[in-house]
Amino acid sequence: MMSPPAPQDFEEILAVLAHHPFFAGLSVPEREELASCAVRREFPAGQPIIHEGEPARGFYALVHGKVAIQLNVPVRGRVTLQTIADGEVLGWSWMTPGAQWSFDARTQQPTVALEFDGPAVLKLCEAEPRLGYRLMTRLSHVMAERLHATRVQLLDIYGVPRP
């Protein structure tokens, strides 16, 4: 469980939420509720921020920078599956209580993100079903987009066409 943000941080987080695409359309009270579950984090380039197999305790809303989602593949080494940048969110394993991260995430550039406390957000979603629905709808959209991207990548569209 993360500590709630200090008052000055709270105002800064609120300001970020007001402009972050993932939270667009949420009301001010909804953003205030979410801001109380978040802390601002800064990471240097090359910093691991998620480790495969560790408990998934939250998610990140990227404000600035770039993060690579990676897997360590035996023999091949570290493989980058996708990169996430400004305005996107990272992580949804936290939605299932007790889940573990299924990938590594490492910054490629100096990165600023809001880190959300997963259990606190889930508790908020249970207490405020309307907010919970809106949040889950957004996360479902992110998941659907990533699934679509993965499917297209599997087509190997730039490979030599075969009839």
Report d(CA 96, CA 107) in Å as an integer.
24
Say if residues 61 and 113 touch (Cβ distance below 8 Å).
yes
SS3 (DSSP) at 58: strand
Q: State how far Cα 52 lies from the chain centre.
A: 15
Give the contact letters, 48-67, x = binds to another protein (CB under 8 A), - = no.
Answer: ------------------x-
For another protein, which residue of 74, 77, 98, 163 counts as binding (CB under 8 A)? Answer: 77
* Range list of H helices, 81-128: 118-127
Instruction: Check residue 25 for interaction with another protein (CB under 8 A).
Output: no
Nearest distance from C-beta of residue 104 to another protein, angstroms: 9
Q: Find the helix or strand (DSSP H, E) in which 145 lies.
A: helix 129-154
Place of tokens 């941080």: 9
Binders of another protein among 81-110, rule CB under 8 A? 81-83, 85-87, 106, 108
Closest CB to another protein among residues 1, 73:
73
Select from 76, 98, 137, 163 the one that contacts another protein (CB under 8 A). Answer: 76
Query: In the window 131-150, what residues touch another protein (CB under 8 A)?
Result: 149
Q: Are the beta carbons of 125 and 132 closer than 8 angstroms?
A: yes
The residues of the shown chain that bind another protein, judged by CB under 8 A, are 66, 68, 70, 76-83, 85-87, 106, 108, 149, 152-153, 155-161
